[in-house]
């Protein structure tokens, strides 16, 4: 971002900086009075190195930063280093860094009261956020901030530093980061146009060349399975059938394979469940296997922003950059087979719309039916040969046989859910009638609690005034020191008792309001229902939270608002209400 001091936008920035400076000067000036009273500064060093600066051997290295800050404190006995916070390989364009967040927690909790950095660029390159921390957040927590090579110290900062110098430096740091990011993207674009591989990990079936990391070479151990996948597709196997075959033969899926080879390190990849049809499809449509390099599918428009899918015309495609695993003829044959298969599937779906009864339940239980063994959501499948068409099956069993067989008719499941909901309605109607009979007691008790709370508030206020007058009486010699301390301690105990009683009253009130008014979602959901209410799709969708399916088609149903409903049910079954308790 380039700017001129005389430009309109720059003048707005100057005015804004002046306004910020007025607020920050007020914050920092108020904070200085407290800072000047500090006898010992508990220092936290903050060291940061960007991933773009690693391995350059520059003065920005972590150890050089530490040495510079240590030298700065020599001969300053009122400074004591109690912690060092490091973000190695972290960008300065945002403040979502583990070391920085740990430092901030230490500052808030009082572990440190002074933060020292090499310069403002080490602190951060986002000028708005950096300014907010220096001008508002640190003064609020009484934190002294020092940037050594920028000669900035909140304890001695001048008005010109706050108004112009610091915002200007922060702005320049952010512009530097933007320029570096722009140049880096341009350099990568040039390399992609030349066919150089820039990914972190090579596509399954390949590995990076040991001589040049921008060149892909065949990984024969994985390439065997890539050829096998293409051959199976040519022979008429679907993506799901291929995935099931690979799982049953215990072939490691791409992410687990990389974990086994030491390319991925997180333990989650060790328990990766296996091949999915989508994984097979990604291999069958990837042009990398015919020797072409396809990159730039996902791009980042803003500096350190979220990546998004790029239009196909913006992809960087270079042919013949590496040795192919399959021939172009086989690749094109597979694409034709898959295209025909998709077209046939679309025709089947269109015919199904007119050849069978309407789908009356329309997937209302999607993502609510789970296998009790593997914990995965069960899949709703259309079975053409069955009269009622739809079944719920465990995908783990169907795909790789790792789970027990579960096969549940949707019509039977819906009937079971209707029975459960009807029972809930029957009990709910009785409970609602019982709550209505308690309405007068409820309102009376709520009013009583409000009066008691206000009385305690008034009593505590009186004790506070008496405590304030007590000090005056002591100073004027009306009472001696011993009587002053005794009566002061008594007033404080009485005020504490008032606060404790208020907390008890508030707890009772909140519990009651949460359980017996429309703030309870269970009561709110039931308020418009009657015993004659029809169990519709909407009712099932509203009340059913989760269904777990066990072997032999046994099910466990969890209804929505179960915890809230259980609390009401407890009072109802005991035949008493909390408001009647003394």
Residues 566, 419: one domain? yes
Q: Mean pLDDT over residues 2-15, rounded? A: 37
Instruction: Answer whether residue 27 is part of any domain.
Output: no
Instruction: Answer whether residue 218 is part of any domain.
Output: yes
Residues 290, 437: one domain? no
Instruction: Answer whether residue 20 is part of any domain.
Output: no
Q: Which of 296, 318, 340 is the last residue of a domain?
A: 340
CA dihedral 355, 360, 366, 370 (to 10 degrees): -100
| pLDDT greater than 70 at residue 374 | yes
Q: How do residues 104-138 score in pLDDT, each as one tens digit?
A: 999 988 899 999 999 888 888 776 777 788 888 88
Residues 146, 230: one domain? no
Instruction: Answer whether residue 197 is part of any domain.
Output: no
Instruction: Answer whether residue 75 is part of any domain.
Output: yes
Judge whether 372 and 548 are in contact, CB under 8 Å.
yes
Q: How do residues 48-82 score in pLDDT, each as one tens digit?
A: 887 655 544 444 688 888 989 999 999 899 999 99
Instruction: Answer whether residue 222 is part of any domain.
Output: yes
Residues 305, 445: one domain? no
| pLDDT greater than 70 at residue 574 | no
- Residue 134 to residue 144: CA distance in whole angstroms: 9
Residues 437, 537: one domain? yes
Cβ neighbours, 10 Å, residue 227: 14
Residues 509, 419: one domain? yes
- Identify the domain containing residue 556 by its residue range: 413-580
Residues 568, 437: one domain? yes
Share of the chain above pLDDT 70, in %: 69
Q: Which of 544, 569, 572 is nearest to 557 (CA)?
A: 544
Q: How do residues 253-303 score in pLDDT, each as one tens digit?
A: 898 888 888 887 777 777 666 888 889 999 999 889 989 888 877 766 554
Q: Which residue has the higher pLDDT, 174 or 318?
A: 318
Instruction: Answer whether residue 368 is part of any domain.
Output: no
pLDDT band at 224 (very low <50, low <70, confident <90, very high): very high
pTM > 0.85? no
Residues 569, 422: one domain? yes
- Residue 280, domain CATH: 3.90.1750.20
DSSP state letters, 133-190: IIIIIHHHTT-EEEETTTTEETTT--HHIIIIIHHHHHHHHHHHHHHHHHHHHHHHHH
Residues 328, 475: one domain? no
Beta bridge partners of 528: none
pLDDT band at 180 (very low <50, low <70, confident <90, very high): low
Q: Mean pLDDT over residues 26-33, rounded? A: 51
- Residue 250 to residue 252: CA distance in whole angstroms: 6
Residues 85, 226: one domain? no
Residues 556, 421: one domain? yes
Q: Which of 319, 340, 361 is the last residue of a domain?
A: 340
Q: Which residue has the higher pLDDT, 330 or 447?
A: 330
DSSP state of 361: S
Instruction: Answer whether residue 8 is part of any domain.
Output: no
Q: Which of 367, 430, 426, 431 is nearest to 564 (CA)?
A: 431
Q: Which of 304, 323, 340 is the last residue of a domain?
A: 340
Number of domains in the chain: 3
Residues 276, 333: one domain? yes
Residues 6+ apart with CB under 8 A from 97: 48, 87, 90
């Amino acid at each position: 971002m380039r700017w001129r001091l005389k430009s309109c936008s720059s003048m707005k920035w100057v005015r804004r900086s002046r306004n910020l400076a007025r607020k920050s000067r007020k914050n920092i000036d108020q904070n200085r009075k407290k800072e000047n009273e500090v006898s010992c500064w508990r220092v936290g060093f903050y060291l940061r190195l960007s991933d773009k600066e690693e391995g350059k051997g520059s003065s920005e290295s972590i150890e050089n930063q530490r040495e510079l800050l240590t030298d700065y404190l020599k001969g300053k006995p009122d400074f004591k280093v109690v912690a060092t916070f490091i973000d190695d390989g972290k960008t300065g364009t945002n403040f979502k860094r583990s070391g920085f967040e740990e430092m901030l927690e230490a500052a808030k909790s009082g572990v440190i009261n002074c933060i020292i950095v090499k310069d403002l660029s080490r602190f951060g390159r986002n000028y708005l956020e950096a300014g907010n921390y220096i001008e508002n957040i640190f003064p609020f927590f009484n934190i002294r901030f020092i940037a050594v090579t920028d000669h900035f110290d909140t304890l001695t900062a001048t008005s010109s530093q706050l108004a112009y110098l610091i915002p200007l430096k922060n702005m320049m740091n952010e512009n530097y980061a933007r320029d570096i990011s722009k140049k880096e993207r341009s350099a990568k674009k040039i390399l992609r146009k030349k066919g150089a591989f820039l990914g972190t990990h090579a596509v399954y079936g390949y590995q990076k060349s040991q001589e040049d990391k921008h060149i892909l070479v065949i990984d024969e151990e994985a390439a065997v399975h890539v050829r096998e996948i293409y051959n199976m597709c040519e022979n008429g196997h679907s993506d799901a059938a291929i995935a099931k075959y690979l799982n049953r033969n215990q072939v490691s899926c791409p992410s687990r394979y990389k974990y086994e080879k030491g390319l991925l390190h997180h333990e989650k990849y060790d328990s990766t469940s296996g091949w999915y049809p989508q994984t097979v499809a990604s291999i069958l449509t990837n042009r990398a296997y015919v020797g072409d390099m396809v990159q730039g599918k996902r791009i980042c428009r803003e500096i350190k922003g979220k990546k998004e899918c790029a239009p196909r015309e913006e992809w960087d495609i270079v042919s013949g950059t590496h040795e192919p695993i399959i021939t172009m003829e086989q690749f094109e044959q597979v694409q034709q087979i898959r295209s025909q298969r998709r077209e046939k599937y679309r025709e089947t779906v269109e015919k199904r719309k007119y050849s069978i009864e309407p789908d009356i339940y329309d997937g209302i239980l999607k993502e609510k039916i789970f296998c009790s063994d593997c914990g995965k959501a069960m899949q709703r499948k259309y079975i053409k040969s069955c009269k009622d068409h739809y079944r719920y099956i465990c995908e783990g069993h169907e795909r790789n046989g790792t789970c027990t067989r579960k096969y549940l008719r949707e019509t039977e499941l819906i009937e079971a859910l209707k029975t459960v909901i009807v029972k809930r309605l029957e009990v709910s109607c009785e409970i609602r009638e019982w709550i209505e009979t308690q309405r007068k007691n409820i309102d009376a008790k709520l009013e009583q609690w409000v009066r008691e709370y206000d009385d305690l508030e008034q009593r505590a206020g009186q004790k506070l005034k008496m405590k304030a007058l007590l000090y005056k009486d002591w100073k004027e010699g009306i009472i001696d020191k011993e009587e002053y301390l005794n009566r002061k301690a008594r007033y404080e105990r009485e005020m504490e008792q008032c606060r404790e009683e208020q907390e008890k009253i508030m707890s009772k009130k909140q519990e009651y309001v949460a359980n017996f008014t429309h703030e309870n979602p269970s009561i709110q959901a039931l308020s418009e229902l009657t015993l004659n209410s029809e169990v519709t799709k909407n009712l099932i969708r509203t009340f059913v939270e989760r269904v777990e399916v066990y072997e032999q088609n046994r099910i466990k149903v969890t209804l929505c608002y179960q915890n809230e409903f259980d609390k009401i049910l407890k009072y109802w079954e005991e035949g008493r209400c909390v408001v009647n308790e003394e």
